[in-house]
Chain A
Amino acid sequence: MSATADRKPVSASDLAALRLAAVGREPWRSLDELADTAGFRRFVEAEFPAIAERLPFSLDRRSLLKLMGASLSLAGLTACSEAERIVPYVHQPENLIPGKPRYYATALSSDGYGIGAVVESHEGRPTKVEGNPDHPASRGATDAIMQAAVLSLFDPERSRTPLRQGEPASYGDFLKDMAELAGGLAASGGQGLALLIEATTSPTTKAQIGSLKQRYPKLRVFKHDPLASSANEQATTRLFGRPLTPVYHFDRADVIVGLDADFLGEGPGRLAYARDFARRRRVRRSADTMSRLYVVESTPTITGAAADHRHAVGPGLVQGVAAAIKAALEGEHDATSLPSLGMEHALVDDLHSAGRNALVVPGAHQTPFVHAVAFAMNARLGAVGNTLDFIEPTDAMPIDGDLPAFCQAITRGSIDSAVVLGCNPLHTAPSDIDVRKAFSMLKLLVHSGLYRDETAFLAQWHVPAAHELESWSDIRAYDGTASIVQPLIQPLFDGKSMHQLLAALGGEFNADMQALVRRTWAAVDEPAWKKALRDGVVPDSATTAVAVSMPPDIGGPTRHAAVADRLELRFVADPWLRDGRHANSSWLQELPRPLSKLIWGNAALISPATAQRLKLENGQVVNLARGGKDLDAPVWIMPGQPEDTVTLSFGFGRKIGSVAALSGGYDAFALRTTDAPWFADGLVLTARDSSARVVTTQHHQAMEGRAIVRHATLDAFRQNPHFVRDGVPPPPTESLYPDWAYDQEAWGMSVDLSACIGCMACVSACQAENNIATVGPDEAALGHEMHWLRIDRYYAGPVDDPDIFFQPVPCMHCEKAPCEVVCPVNATVHTHDGLNAQVYNRCIGTRYCSQNCPYKVRRFNFLEYQEFDKDSAGPQQAAHNPDVTVRSRGVMEKCTYCVQRIAEKRIRAQIENREIGDGEVVTACQQACPTQAITFGDLNRKGSGVAREKAAPHNYALLEELNTRPRTTYLGKITNPNSRIAGKPGTETGGNG
């Protein structure tokens, strides 16, 4: 490895020497490599004898991780000038009561688009992100990544100081250099200067770039967004003469066709779409109706799992299928050359009968042709203006080009100074562009980012960026609604916002973050500004729909020649790490991927049939080659994956940061080329003799004929609303133990399996709310993961085309809890309001409760997973929820129904001398859920939301025959398949008996 190869041998065994040693021009590839040197060992032995003794054992990578958090991270960061100042209030701020959290509305960025958030702050310390109910892209929900924002804020490995040529420098020095640069540029009109920005919708950025361009007419601005696709822009430009963005209304759609579109899991509007989609599919009585979803997709997604009819095809075939559906819709029967789904006619009849309530959604990464076909079908059905609107793009920026253009301009010599804001092209560029070479030709490279990443190592100046919870900014949502991003905390490491750097470039060196944003919204008066800050949205800022007319000619498909005996390649972004920007977040690394349930690494997904044909098994390493590039990846057999298609995900393979260094997997950018950013054919797969560890949290995928997820079609439900009782014995009613009496509340939860889309937001929210530890890949591989709430994913039916079911499993809080009777020390007890409480202080760790739990929801602190020493815990301890105990090793823990939230509401209700209102207590999982699948409340209260849910005919308890009488119950999953399309055997009602 070059970073260590050109290093001087370490002689002194102290940290200072180690730091010096680690200051290279490039990052070390893994901390293992750095750590596996004599110098490091001497340092560890001197400073941490306990850890040194434990270093040889594999399970102690965790200790290594802790150590990294404490000190090794500093090695790469070279200096820590800014100590966190925590002083008691001299003057207590108005309205602040110590111990009572405050909530601030802001917005978090998701691929550049805003999703509204309300952040809980304890004494100035943000601890929890909730959705903003007033924000159109959130509607009160969050996703898993938003939950992890507080963890990344306190990440000790964030860049802490400006670096000049890799050496610590002051921000003043940087400004001095900028002043010189600005002076020179003012004379030349910005000749040779370029900006490279990441995806953003910030009006302030737009305005700043505009004024910079006025100041420097020759300034050029490029955008690099590795997860974007230009297909929609191309298609709408071709069809309507200008780029437009579609906005969907799933609440109005009766029949939805997804053309490789993962609208529930991807895209800036996904939370709102999921809410609308689930609302249109809410069935409680026989008279209720629901929408029908057809999905054609090239890799399994949660949208496909939610579909009533799912059809897996290779990514290159999607345009053919789209064309076939369009031909059938338009009554052309001679389109025999097109691939057949076997259900076009039933599908098309459905679309016709839905008329303007139909909706065809193209996948963002699909070809412009697929977009055009989808828009044309929507237009023909009259859906445009009803289920689909077109708006002016919200991310419009005065952009001169993309990354390839940027690199070309450098190579041609027309750019010699560049400012890279946020993005990390050295990692995320397609492999056929030599970014390193291009960037090396620059005279000046300024980089701003949260981490000292690959690009930062190449830069002359690296400036730490302010986290979005530390910044003033603004951002637009998928529908154009603007939000003001307000800081929850002073920048911890003196990071600078993108706006401050742009201002400095324009000669404004000491600009205040807030003032820069306020200037953009100068037209808004002070009360309205305050209101916008409080509400989290700027009123009436949503973009209005534009009227479009569909041209008759939509163009032809992109040429896609299938190569015989080769595989197709499909790229996806990792749902949590995205392009790798969140790779240093242990919460996200350890959060199971919705379908594969993989953690701490990615794998090449292949279908069972392909695996059988190529004789591959899970974890086997294969070499994947295309266009002269190749990579090694472990395979993972994925039911529902189209045949001869390999899915690779971005986000892994990065070794920057100690958490990321622990993860496995490959870097899929190594196979990506500019001509095929999202899918390609001609992939050559060669099996290797080795295998790699792939960590998963669920090893068995079938329900084994047990009535676990009970499901039925809508028709079957109408005939028999009590289908969940079919074929299962009635639950027993007697018990040896007397019933509990409830004078006050009796809490209960209902989970609607029809609404659950398996997005994992609840699991992440639970982790953030309840201080749940992450354990690292080694421990997780042993089955030691700690999530209190898990989402079980089951497959049923044929392995190549299975039905996919999700089932969130929190603690059931059984009335007759098997755990309670076996605990020898009374550590798990029944409370007066029906909770099954775990008393950590009493627990001695016999683990009998877990052995006796049929649902296996209990989690055990097998090792010391949390850091209790405040000096070595690092800043991340600040992300802990102060209302929840941090558990030590040797004790059992589990879902508490967020008892701290119940207690908070009870205290408030008692102060106000009233009962706790229905819906007043909201659990963390419930609050995060985008589809409102979870209802929580008091079962004793007549007409409470949860009592109503439990009165639904398809309410059932998991494993009710065991007489545990769970308080968490489920509503059976109801699907709405088209009766004209032959279903798979046993899918009408299933999972019973």
Chain B
Amino acid sequence: MAEALGARAENAVPRAPVLRGHHDFPEISGRISAVVLQGRLPRFFWAAFFVCFVFVLLFLYSITYLISVGVGAYGINIPVAWGTMISSFVWWIGIGHAGTLISAVLLLLRQPWRASINRFAEAMTLFAVAMAGLYPILHLGRPWFFYWLLPLPNTHMHWPQWRSPLVWDFSAIATYATVSLLFWYMGLLPDLGVLRDRAMSRAGQLFYGILALGWRGSAFHWARYRTVYFLMAALATPLVVSVHSIVALDFTFAIAPGYYSTIFPPYFVAGALLSGFAMVLTIAIPLRWAFAVEDLITLRHMENAAKLMIAAGMIVVYGYASEAFFAWYSGQPYERAMMAQRAVGPYAPLFWVMLFCNCIVLQLLWLRRVRLNMPILFSIALIINIGMWLERYVIVVTGPSRGYLPSSWGEQSLTWLDYGILFGSLGTFFALVFLFIRILPAITIFEVEELVEEKGGGA
């Protein structure tokens, strides 16, 4: 029955193909590697990179200022001792999740549409985790001692306190960063081989040759590559759930109203996927347009990402509802008051904007027309990116600002440094994306070639 309905729907509106037009292998590898090897990138690319670079400088200045003056320079206080460093951290970690989901989970599920977007999605994961990893360190009062969270044998009789979710968090992020990096690099190897072979300059040949680790594309290589790549995908898959669950435990574990909530782990994972796919779209839509690869990254990819967004987004909406319901159902005056204050208190505007972004705007994605309209989809992705950042900020600050003792109620307000670090990290993230596009193939050459092969093209 369901299949029949599905088939009818399929007939009614033909789905966009994963690969559009007629292609062959040399054309694919030539087109993709030309971006990297010939390096004749359009003027706007460098203009945009320059803008991002200015933000990189802002990021460096802000971090230098923060470390030399102290964390009091950004908007934290007592009672709200956590601020944008934590909310941005959670946001960046969430962004990374879509990349892992695309590259690992969809690989295991044999979804062919992941092929042309997995590379930059993985890169996005890596850069997002790099940004995310900086935040907890910048958050520390004494950032130069961050390594005390590691279980290193040392002479100052210091050992992590294993009951603290921050220790779990540290391990989770370290694992995630390591696995993401290896997985991404592993996937790059065949393409690095292509780049080495196609490189015209000696420097390029050396650079890509060293990175390619002797990849020759023999059948043995491919067989081992497949085994390892799938194994690593199997390793990375649980991370999609575990990393953000552990991040959520930072809150769940605490007794502060608004933090103490068992719904957080699943709801954080769903939120991570929502914001992650929003970021995928934020990057992919301009990318496919600017580099004219709309036949490789097709509307099918965009639509599938949008569908995943609404799926994850509805879980997030359910999370909001359940958080509010259980605040009431718990009968706890503290929890109820905090939830009421979230809606009407000093942070209420942020809360309502967040609901608008993540719940109302999200519903537009039910419409196929919206999913296939790239300008609108891009706008929605941006709005959801903002909404998801606000969600994390609202969670981080509203609980402590309306704690158990009304005498200690208070708010924090953001300073230039909060914005400097947030926008600086965004700039750095995009600057890394630009560098990545310049230096490495943003679309997986060999996987698209596989698609071509399956479609019946090829050499």
Contacts and interface: CB of A to CB of B under 8 A. Distances in A.
Contacts of B407: 698, 700, 708, 790, 792-794, 807, 809
Interface in A665-711: 698-706, 708
A443 to B, nearest CB: 54
A404 interface: no
Nearest to A702: B406
Interface in A392-444: none
B141 A844 contact: yes
What size tier do the contact residues of chain A reach?
35 or more
Nearest to A859: B78
A843 B75 CA distance: 21
Contact of B161 (A792, A824, A855): A824
B320 interface: no
A842 B158 contact: yes
B72 A824 contact: no
Contacts of A825: 148-149, 158, 160-161
What size tier do the contact residues of chain B reach?
35 or more
Given A783-B412, A818-B255, A824 B167 contact: yes
B69 A851 contact: no
A863 B69 contact: yes
B254 A818 contact: yes
A952 B11 CA distance: 81
A839 to B, nearest CB: 10
Interface in B189-203: none
B410 A699 contact: yes
Contacts of A790: 407
B169 to A, nearest CB: 8
Interface stretch (A356-364, A738-746, A886-894): A886-894
B260 to A, nearest CB: 10
Contacts of B406: 700-704, 706, 708, 794
Contacts of B70: 861-864, 889-890
> What secondary structure prevails in chain B residues at the interface with A?
loop
B405 A847 contact: no
A850 B81 contact: yes
A959 B98 CA distance: 42
A113 interface: no
A218 to B, nearest CB: 60
B223 to A, nearest CB: 44
A858 B403 CA distance: 14
Interface string B56-85: 000000000000011111011111111000
A231 to B, nearest CB: 37
A851 B256 contact: yes
A848 B143 CA distance: 15
B78 A856 contact: yes
Interface string A375-397: 00000000000000000000000
A93 to B, nearest CB: 39
A862 B159 CA distance: 25
Contacts of A700: 406-407, 409
Nearest to B161: A826
A782 B412 CA distance: 7
Nearest to B136: A846
Given A845-B71, A850-B78, A890-B70, A855 B405 contact: yes
Contacts of B165: 822
Contacts of A890: 70-71, 140-142
A827 to B, nearest CB: 8
Given A848-B164, A854-B405, A959-B404, A891 B256 contact: no
Nearest to A783: B77
Contacts of B160: 824-826
Interface string A568-586: 0000000000000000000
A784 B255 contact: no
Nearest to A699: B410
A856 B82 CA distance: 13
B76 A847 contact: yes
Contacts of A863: 69-70, 72-73
B438 interface: no
Nearest to B346: A699
Contacts of B146: 844
B429 interface: no
Interface of A: 54, 59, 698-706, 708, 779, 782-784, 790, 792-794, 807, 809, 818, 821-826, 842-848, 850-852, 854-856, 858-864, 889-892, 958-959, 962
**CB-CB nearest 6 A-B residue pairs:** A845-B141, A862-B72, A890-B141, A783-B77, A792-B407, A856-B408
21 contacts: A59-B72, A706-B404, A782-B75, A783-B410, A790-B407, A822-B166, A824-B164, A824-B166, A826-B159, A846-B140, A847-B81, A847-B141, A851-B82, A854-B256, A854-B404, A856-B408, A860-B141, A862-B76, A889-B141, A890-B70, A890-B140
Given A784-B72, A790-B407, A889-B142, 17 more contacts: A59-B69, A59-B72, A704-B333, A783-B80, A822-B254, A823-B164, A824-B170, A825-B148, A846-B140, A846-B166, A851-B82, A851-B256, A852-B254, A852-B255, A861-B70, A863-B70, A891-B142
